[in-house]
Chain A
Amino acid sequence: MFSYYLDLALRSLRRNKALTALMVVAIALGIGASMTMLTVLHVLSGDPLPGKSQTLFYPQLDPRDKADYEAGAEPPRQVTWIDGMNLLRARRADRQALMTGGAVPIQPAQSSVDPFFSDARYTTADFFPMFDTPFRYGRGWSEADDDARSRVVVITSELNDKLFGGRDSTGQILRMKDTAFRIIGVLGDWRPNPHFYDLNMGDYSGLESVFLPLSASRDLHLPLNGSRSCWGDGGSDEAHFETASCVWLQFWVQINEPAKVADYRNFLVRYSQEQQALGRFQRSPNVRLSGLMQWLDVNKVVPSDVRLQTWLALGFLLVCLVNTVGLMLAKFLRRSGELGVRRALGASRQAVFGQLLVESAVIGLAGGVFGLLLAFVGLWLVRRQPSDYAALAHMDLTMLGATFAAAIAASLCAGLLPAWRACQITPALQLKSQ
């Protein structure tokens, strides 16, 4: 029966090519535009660490003075050195890491490569196991290295390719700011999107090239990058940031059991009360503990232009669908005579309805194919934009399937009303007027 309906549908579509083309183009444009934007949105709002993100949390404390106090306002989005170190040493979570960004001058041993500046991350030992970073060679450093201020470094495979031709470079020496660092690990293929652990570096910026212990970076006064916010008599120079009233570090914790999240929050409140009693904090405890995905929401990581364009594309799809409904209605009602004959010859209403829906689905499928082509063109256009997320806009299998599903679902929806109206035809009336 299905193949018969398919045959009928193709015949009917061939009969009025202009109208068919118009319907297919309308669906293709709507689908192409929406799928382009939904793909961009899907890429940008994706989970940077699937399977792991629900155990990662970002604590916020309010260590500021009383000036411009507003009850319930959001605490600073970073922590001070003192608080970061206290929370790190308290070890109340399963894992915790304190970090900040920087830039280091790298002085390659080979004379063929000129010295260059590279983005760096100064962090603590748990960074690697906590974020599940893959290692091509070697491993991360241990807490003992943090305590000993060891001159050790983990580099990305990209830097390893550049300096060591991709060979296992663990144990080799990398000179940075006139200091010898021992390479202990080379990261594998890892590019979390967004750059969730420090959103001050650009939401979709790539990975830093070198990772080294925070304690060593402070010893050597390596240059810092990123956002800092100070209050009171804050604003000291970088060398004395340990004691300044400035927030400039990010602190992440891993809590494996959901039940313990509330415990950690209580710990943060108790810590704030303690600090208030000591006179360091002047505000009453104001803490937040956001999950990773929630933290991305709080920071409005997905650009508002992208969200706006997505809504525009969906609105566009809606207009295209309404347009298709109208055209299908015209087309189906025009065939009242033919449908009347089928009904008079014994086809049930359901059978006629099914036949018309098959016809809509064929249009949807054709629209989906063209829509997919348009989506590829659209994504190519997006990749040519200057934004930092542009390079990420690629179609994956999920979105490919979703495009077809959306096109067929959309055209079936568009076919429902016209098909229903067309089966309401009274066969006798149609036959008589012939």
Chain B
Amino acid sequence: MTLHPMIAALRRHKAGVVLIALQIALTLAIVCNAVFIIGQRVERVNRPTGLDESNLFLVSQQWVGAPSGDDPASVEKLDSLQQADLAALRSLPDVASVTPINSLPLLNSSWNGAVDLKPGTTGQGSFNGTRTTYYFSDEQALSTLGLHLVAGRNFTVADVQHRGFRDQGEPSLVILTKALGDKLFPKGDALGKVIFLNGATTPTTIIGMVERMQVPGTGSWTNSFVWNATLVPTRLDANFARYAIRAKPGRLDAAMHAVTPTLYAANPLRVLDDDSVKSFAQIRAEAYRADVGMAILMGVVCLILLAVTAAGIVGLTSFWVGQRHRQIGVRRALGARKIDILHYFQIENLVIASVGAVIGLMLAIGLNVLLMQSFEMERLPVAYVLAGIVMVLALGQGAVFVPARRASNVPPVVATRAA
């Protein structure tokens, strides 16, 4: 079958052809970019934090009437409150290990700063040096969080210090993530080297490196340092404390239930509410709720868009079939088989959809460039566009099938009747 008569026929209803092609082009452009956004969000949501997330939960609590923590004596008092809690929690039968920690990945509450190779160059809160987030914890941090030590050693009990929440002072030892170590020492020999935290003049030695650990913030402002974490062997003493707890395998629920009564028994003067005990799965779900919502919304919009486009193709093709009722009868009377008529409409749709897809390809790339300028978007991979083209062509074929079959069922006798 040659395309020539078909294209000549299409010229006779230009407006309809242009509209279908335009609709396919717009649908392709929007769906490609929307699916790409969904893909990016899903990738973000699924990235591992570096922790062993199962059987892990977090307790956030506050003491009532606790000392201020502004003078050394009250810091000691706060520390003894914290030590008492840790001892009580570590003695629970369903608990494998406990560590005090100021935040966790995905918790969106962070203590950030900068590290540098020279002393006294960067200020606290300033954006100089290499940005990092600090996790203040103790010697049980690695085992509780399930972090993988790839070089050096873990903290020992003797390394662990404690200080008031608002006091100054930098630690003498830290463990970094490999990402941060490699950024500071690109040759990969960070272990044992000396760095300066937050513009301090006193040196800090890198004693170990963990494979991976995400920062607490999930907003786009953390994109530049999302794997740059620093573990500090210091318990922070304030009128509140957080404890990360690893339950024994399969005992997560039991351990989570046991925590509140245990802490109240150790010291009743505290505030623990419904939000105080959270499994890591809950923390993860809360952190990414907006991303998951966006992905679902985009997905629903794409599906409706495809449905509307398909309905449009069905509508216009049905109209053409009705319009050409008599011509189809003539072709059938002249010897065309049913399958020829079916193919005619299918190929016609393929031609229009291909034109639409080519325009859509350009629109999709143009839209992507616009989105890259005004939003945090990356370049649209070619695979997405190619998959999109295949999809709209298939959609066109699916939509045209019903009217085309109706056309193929037009009996040859129609040719003999008056229109």
User: Contact residues of A with B, CB < 8 Å?
Assistant: 19, 22, 26, 29, 33, 67-68, 115, 228-239, 245-246, 304-305, 307-309, 312-313, 315-316, 318-320, 322-323, 325-327, 329-331, 333-334, 385-387, 417-418, 421, 433
Contact = CB atoms under 8 A, between A and B. Distances in A.
Nearest to A433: B419
B26 A231 contact: no
A309 B371 CA distance: 12
B316 A327 contact: yes
A421 B15 contact: yes
A423 to B, nearest CB: 14
Interface in B303-354: 304-305, 308-309, 311-312, 315-316, 318-319, 322-323
B297 interface: yes
B289 A386 contact: yes
Contacts of A433: 419
Nearest to A331: B319
B387 interface: no
Nearest to B166: A237
Nearest to B319: A330
Interface of B: 15-16, 19-20, 22-23, 26-27, 29-30, 34, 37, 64, 70, 121, 123-128, 166-168, 198-199, 286, 289-290, 293-294, 297-298, 301, 304-305, 308-309, 311-312, 315-316, 318-319, 322-323, 371, 374-376, 419
Nearest to A29: B304
Given A236-B168, A246-B125, A334-B322, 16 more contacts: A22-B315, A29-B308, A67-B128, A68-B128, A115-B64, A230-B124, A233-B123, A234-B123, A319-B27, A319-B30, A323-B23, A323-B312, A333-B319, A386-B293, A387-B290, A418-B15
A319 B308 contact: yes
Contacts of B293: 385-386
Given A231-B123, A235-B198, A319-B305, A330 B16 contact: yes
Top 10 nearest A-B pairs (CB, nearest first) are A330-B319, A235-B124, A326-B19, A323-B312, A231-B123, A322-B23, A229-B125, A315-B30, A230-B123, A319-B26
Contacts of B297: 309
B417 to A, nearest CB: 14
Nearest to B289: A386
Nearest to A311: B371
A318 B26 contact: yes
Contact of B376 (A304, A318, A327): A304
Contacts of B128: 67-68
Contacts of B312: 22, 26, 322-323, 326-327
B236 to A, nearest CB: 14
Contacts of A236: 168
Contacts, number: 127
Nearest to A245: B123
* Residue among B37, B289, B290, B319 facing the most chain A CB atoms (10 A cut-off): B319
B315 A19 contact: yes
A195 B309 CA distance: 42
B308 A312 contact: no
Contact of A22 (B26, B70, B168, B311): B311
B166 A385 contact: no
B319 A234 contact: no
A26 B126 contact: no
Q: Is the interface of B mostly helix, strand, loop or mixed?
A: helix
Given A229-B126, A238-B166, A316 B315 contact: no
Contacts of B301: 33, 312-313, 316
A433 B325 CA distance: 14
B34 A312 contact: yes
A327 B309 CA distance: 11
Contacts of A229: 125-126
Contact of B22 (A230, A239, A322): A322
B316 A385 contact: no
B15 A329 contact: yes
A329 B16 contact: yes
Contacts of B375: 304, 307-308
Contacts of B199: 233, 235
A319 B124 contact: no
Given A326-B16, A330-B16, A67 B121 contact: yes
A2 to B, nearest CB: 27
B309 A319 contact: yes
A312 to B, nearest CB: 6
A53 to B, nearest CB: 24
B315 A326 contact: yes
A307 B375 CA distance: 9
Given A312-B34, A316-B30, A323-B309, A330 B316 contact: yes
B19 to A, nearest CB: 4
Contacts of B37: 308
A337 to B, nearest CB: 10
10 contacts: A67-B123, A228-B125, A233-B123, A308-B375, A322-B26, A327-B316, A329-B316, A330-B16, A385-B293, A386-B289
Nearest to B68: A221
Nearest to A231: B123
A411 B209 CA distance: 63
B298 A312 contact: yes
Given A68-B128, A433-B419, A307 B374 contact: yes
A323 B322 contact: no
Contact of A326 (B23, B127, B167, B289): B23
B301 to A, nearest CB: 6
A417 B16 CA distance: 11
